[in-house]
A and B are shown apart, each in its own frame.
Chain A
């Protein structure tokens, strides 16, 4: 991973994430998250994942931010300064991070075309999808056809979440109650 653009983006993301920890103005925290999502989207463009990039920019940086800001309007902008000791969370986070880093030591190298991730079914999708599905964007072919059931499951999750939100917030009932 010697690409200077990726390294610069990673450095900015680290700064933004640390800023999100330090800030207690929740409006600023939400905006930090929005910037973080946008940096992640830039990173996806650089890593050839253009479909993911625009979805992350629209849904992650856009809709999520709007939902959080709307929540802040209803619940208040400032967080109470924490009285907890930060030693225990730091220890837990440090240990978890150390275990995860240990787990990455035998992962394939960045950009390795012969890693197990890139050898399994990806070649078949790339070679056959233009004849089997007939559209040039392989991501769309997989999403809508080869893994159509995944997408159907995703829709089920969104539908369930939508019903959950309506039940929790009582949309349509609220006006009459007041």
Chain B
């Protein structure tokens, strides 16, 4: 077990877990999305670090160089970055709608409103419809 040879994986695991912690421990939905993005950026580093070749150059062909880093992880991560932004946009749009419907982005308050609505069935339909229409 080579400590320096595996250090990149361990730091990446630590960074991934900080993102994961934000996702599960934070009550605010926007902060959860930020945590998801932290996690995601760490996974990108994991992939790119696996494609590194010692003494290699960036994979742009030119004379006088024989050793290049592996271009395949780069392509996969280019795709992943763009898909990541698409999912972030969708998550944030959902957060905006939830804020409109419930007046809050905190998990506790949303849950409270949900249970109140279930207990008070007579007002439930009118309230929720009014909330969604803003």
Contact = CB atoms under 8 A, between A and B. Distances in A.
Contact of B71 (A2, A83, A108, A122): A122
Interface of B: 1-2, 4-11, 13-22, 24-28, 30-31, 33-35, 37-38, 41, 44-45, 48-54, 56-62, 67-79, 81-90, 92-97, 99, 105-106, 108-109, 133-134
A171 B31 CA distance: 24
Interface string A130-162: 100000111100110001001100100110111
Nearest to A105: B1
Nearest to A6: B8
Nearest to A109: B5
Given A93-B17, A100-B16, 11 more contacts: A20-B35, A20-B38, A48-B68, A68-B92, A74-B99, A93-B20, A105-B1, A122-B70, A126-B59, A161-B86, A165-B93
If over half of A's interface residues share one DSSP class (helix, strand or loop), that class is named, otherwise mixed; here it is helix
A51 B59 CA distance: 9
Interface in A1-52: 1-2, 6-7, 10, 13-14, 17-18, 20-21, 26, 29-30, 33, 36-37, 40, 43-44, 47-52
A140 to B, nearest CB: 9
Given A147-B75, A165-B89, A21 B61 contact: no
A125 B72 contact: yes
A164 B19 CA distance: 25
A54 to B, nearest CB: 10
